[in-house]
Structure 1
Amino acid sequence: MIFTLAAILLGLVLLVWSADRFVLGASATASILGVSTLVIGILVVGIGTSAPEMLVSGIAAYQGQSGLSVGNALGSNITNIGLILGLTVLFIPLRVKSKLITREIPLLLIVMVLGFFLVRDGNLSRFDGWILIAGFVAVVFRQIWEARHADNDELEKELEEEIPHDMSLGVALGWLLLGLVLLMVSARMLVWGAVDLAEYFGISDLIIGLTVVAIGTSLPELAASVVAARKNEHDIAIGNVVGSNLFNLLGVMALPGIIAPSDIDLAVVSRDYPVMLLMTVIFYLSALASRKGRKISRIEGGGFLALYIGYTAYLVYSSI
C-alpha cells in the first residue's frame, strides 16, 4: 500500500509539472511558427491542459480499465466546474467578457447531450468512440475558424501577455518533448496506483476515476485558472474550464470506446451524467449573467463547491 500511495502522489506531482512544461513548450513553438494568439490559447493550450486526461484514459482503456477511463472523463468535467471554478470564484469573483467563451458553453451543452445519447444504453462501442472523435475534429476546426475571425476579442488581449515570446525554438521543443515524455510516465504511474488502490479497498475503478484520478488530472486546470484569476485574466480562467470540458467529452471519452469497447456502469447515466449536466447549465446561466455587467459571485462559487463536495461525499458513502 505504501508503494501504491507513493506512485499516486509522485504520479500526480509529475503530471502537473509535466503538463505545465508541455503547454509552455507547445505554446512557445506555435508562437515561433507564426500561429495566431487566439489559436494558441484556444486550441494548443486547451488540448495541452487536457493531455493528462487523454493519456490516463488511453492507458487505462488499453489495460482493460474502461471504468477508470470513463470516470476520469466525466469526473474531470465535474471537478473542473465544481472544485476548480468553485474555488477560483470563491476567492476571486470572475466576469466573462469574451464573446468566444459565451459561444463555447452552449456548444459544450450540445456535446453533453450527444454524449448522453451515446452512453444511455450502458455501452460505449467503437462506433460511439469514432462519433466522438469526429465531433472532436469538428470542434477543433470550428475553434480555429472562430479564432481567426474574432475581432479584438477580450480573450486575445489576455492571452497575448501569457504566451512566451522570448524563447528559442530549440528550448521550446525541448520543453515540449520533455513534458510529453514525463506526461506518459506519470500517467502510467497514476493508472497503476489507482487500479491497485481500487483493488485493495474493493472499490470500482469508475469511482476511483471519478474522484482520485479526476482530481489529479484536473490539477493543471486548477493551477492555470487560479493564476489567471489573480492576474485579472478572467476570460482565461473561465476559458480553461470550458475548453478542457469540451475536449474531455469528445477526446477523452472517445478513447475507451475506440481502444476497448465495453459495457459501462449504468450509474454513469443515472448519477454522474445528470450531475455534470446540472453543473454545466448553472455555470452557463452564471456566465450569461456576468456578460451583462456583474461578476460570477462568491456565493455562486460556494454553490459550485458545495455541489461538488456533496456529490463526492455521496460517491464515497455509497462505495463504503
Structure 2
Amino acid sequence: MLVFSVALLAGFFFLIFSADYFVKGTSAIARNIGISPLIIGLTIIGLGTSAPEMLVAGIASVQGNTGLATGNAVGSNIANIGLVLGVTALISPILIKSSLLKRELPILLVISIISYLLLVDGHLSRFDGLILIAGLIAFLYWLLRSAQQNKQQKKDILAAEFDDEIPSDLSTKTASFYVIIGLTILIISSKLLVWAAVNIAILFGVSDLVIGLTIIAIGTSLPELAASIMSVIKKEPDLAVGNIIGSNAFNLLAVLCLPGLLHPGNVDPQLVSRDLPIMLGFTLCLFIFSYSFNGQPKINRFKGGVFMLFFVAYLSKVYLDTLGI
C-alpha cells in the first residue's frame, strides 16, 4: 500500500510539473511565430491544461481500464466546477466581463448534454468516440473564428488577460526544450499514476470508476485550481472561468472520446445514472450563476460556497454508494 501511495503522489507531482512546462513551451512557441494571445489561450492552453486527463485516459483505455478513463473525464468536470471554482470564488468573487465567455458557456452546456445522450444507452462505441472527435474539431473551429472576429472588432478583456499570462521572454529553442521535457515526463507520470490507481482500486476492492471520479479527477484538476487561484489574485477573473470552461469542454470532447476509440464497450451503470446527471447539474449551475439580469455577472462567495457544498455532497454520495449504503 505504501508503494502505491508514494507512486500516486509522485505521479500527481510530476504530472502537474510537466503539464505546466508543456503548456508554457507550446504557448511560447505559438507566440514567437505570431499567433495571437487569444487564439493561444483558447486552443493551445485549453488543450494543454487537459493534457494530464488525456494521457491518463489514453493509457488507462489501452490497458482496458475504461472505468478509470471515463471517471477521470466526468469527475474532472465535476471537480473543476465544484472544487476549483468553489474554492476560487471563496477566496475572491469572480466578476465575468468577457463577452466571449458568455457565448462559450451555452456551448459547454450543449457539449455536456450531447455527451450524456451518447452514453445514456450504457455503451461507449467507436462511433460515439468519432462523434466526440468531430465535436472537438467543430469546437476548435468555432474558437478560432471567434478569436479572429474578436481581433477585428473590439478587443475582449480575455485577450488582455491571456496576453499577460503567455511567456514573452522564452526563445523558441528554450520553449521547444520545455515541450519535449514536459511531454516526456507527462507520459511517464501518467503511466505511473494509472498503475498506482489501478492497484489501489484492487487493494481496496473498489471499481476503477470510483478511483477515476475521486482521487484521479481531483489530482488532475490541481493545475486548474492553482491557475484559477493565481488568476483572481492577479485580478484576472475571466481567465479563472475561461480555464474551467475550456478544460471541461476539452475533457468531454478530447478525453471522453479516447476510451470509445481505444477500448469501446459498456460503461459502468453508475456513471450513467449518477455521475453524468450530476455533471450536467454542475454545468447548469455554472451557466445560471454566470449570468445576471441586473448588473455585472459575478460568481460571488455565496455561489462558491454552494459549489463546494454540492461537491462535498457528491463525494459523500460516491462514498456511501461504494459502501453499499
Question: TM-score, structure 1 length as denominator?
Answer: 0.98
In structure 2, distance between residues paired with 1:291 and 1:140 = 32
**What's the CA shift string for 1:233-278, capped at 9, x where partnerless?**
0110000000000000111000000000010011111110111111
In structure 1, distance between residues paired with 2:115 and 2:168 = 38
The SS at the match of 1:289 is: coil
Does the CA-based 8 Å contact 1:105-1:242 persist in structure 2?
yes
**What's the CA shift string for 1:179-204, capped at 9, x where partnerless?**
11111111111100000000000000
1:172 and 2:159 aligned: no
In structure 1, distance between residues paired with 2:56 and 2:293 = 34
Does the CA-based 8 Å contact 1:136-1:251 persist in structure 2?
yes
The CA deviation at 1:290 is: 8.6
The CA deviation at 1:111 is: 0.7
Aligned length: 320
The CA deviation at 1:285 is: 1.1
1:313 to 297, 316, 320: 316
Instruction: Specify the alignment match of 1:70 in structure 2.
Output: 70
Instruction: Specify the alignment match of 2:36 in structure 1.
Output: 36
Q: 1:48 to 1:206 in 2, by over 3 A?
A: same
- Residue correspondence of structure 1 range 105-120 to structure 2 within 5 A: 105-120=105-120
- The percentage of counterpart residues that share the same residue type is 47
Q: 1:222 to 1:108 in 2, by over 3 A?
A: same
Instruction: Specify the alignment match of 2:96 in structure 1.
Output: 96
1:182 and 2:185 aligned: yes
The CA deviation at 1:291 is: 8.8
1:272 and 2:280 aligned: no
In structure 2, distance between residues paired with 1:290 and 1:27 = 36
Instruction: Specify the alignment match of 1:257 in structure 2.
Output: 260
- Residue correspondence of structure 1 range 133-172 to structure 2 within 5 A: 133-150=133-150, 151-172=154-175
Q: Tell me the amino acid that sits aligned with residue 170 of structure 1.
A: K
In structure 2, distance between residues paired with 1:22 and 1:291 = 41
The SS at the match of 2:290 is: helix
**What's the CA shift string for 1:127-181, capped at 9, x where partnerless?**
1001101101110111011111113001011111111111111001111111111
The CA deviation at 1:292 is: 3.2
In structure 2, distance between residues paired with 1:218 and 1:294 = 25
In structure 1, distance between residues paired with 2:316 and 2:125 = 31
The CA deviation at 1:289 is: 2.0
Does the CA-based 8 Å contact 2:290-2:297 persist in structure 1?
no
Does the CA-based 8 Å contact 1:25-1:176 persist in structure 2?
yes
The SS at the match of 2:235 is: coil
Q: 1:168 to 1:278 in 2, by over 3 A?
A: same
Q: Tell me the amino acid that sits aligned with residue 136 of structure 1.
A: L
Q: 1:240 to 1:112 in 2, by over 3 A?
A: same
**What's the CA shift string for 1:83-119, capped at 9, x where partnerless?**
0000000111001111111111100111111111110
In structure 2, distance between residues paired with 1:35 and 1:292 = 34
Does the CA-based 8 Å contact 2:130-2:257 persist in structure 1?
yes
The CA deviation at 1:294 is: 4.8
For structure 1, the 5+ residue unaligned runs are none
Does the CA-based 8 Å contact 2:75-2:214 persist in structure 1?
yes
Does the CA-based 8 Å contact 2:291-2:298 persist in structure 1?
no
In structure 1, distance between residues paired with 2:143 and 2:267 = 31
In structure 2, distance between residues paired with 1:180 and 1:145 = 28
Instruction: Specify the alignment match of 2:221 in structure 1.
Output: 218
In structure 1, distance between residues paired with 2:305 and 2:258 = 33
Q: 1:294 to 1:107 in 2, by over 3 A?
A: closer
RMSD (Å) for aligned C-alpha atoms: 1.0
Does the CA-based 8 Å contact 1:95-1:291 persist in structure 2?
no
Q: 1:75 to 1:194 in 2, by over 3 A?
A: same
Does the CA-based 8 Å contact 1:95-1:290 persist in structure 2?
no
Does the CA-based 8 Å contact 1:27-1:44 persist in structure 2?
yes
For structure 2, the 5+ residue unaligned runs are none
Q: Tell me the amino acid that sits aligned with residue 280 of structure 2.
A: L
The CA deviation at 1:295 is: 2.4
The SS at the match of 1:165 is: coil
Question: TM-score, structure 2 length as denominator?
Answer: 0.97
In structure 2, distance between residues paired with 1:223 and 1:90 = 14
1:82 and 2:82 aligned: yes
Q: 1:232 to 1:262 in 2, by over 3 A?
A: same
Q: Which runs of 4+ in 1 moved over 6 A?
A: none
In structure 2, distance between residues paired with 1:3 and 1:207 = 20
Q: Tell me the amino acid that sits aligned with residue 260 of structure 1.
A: H
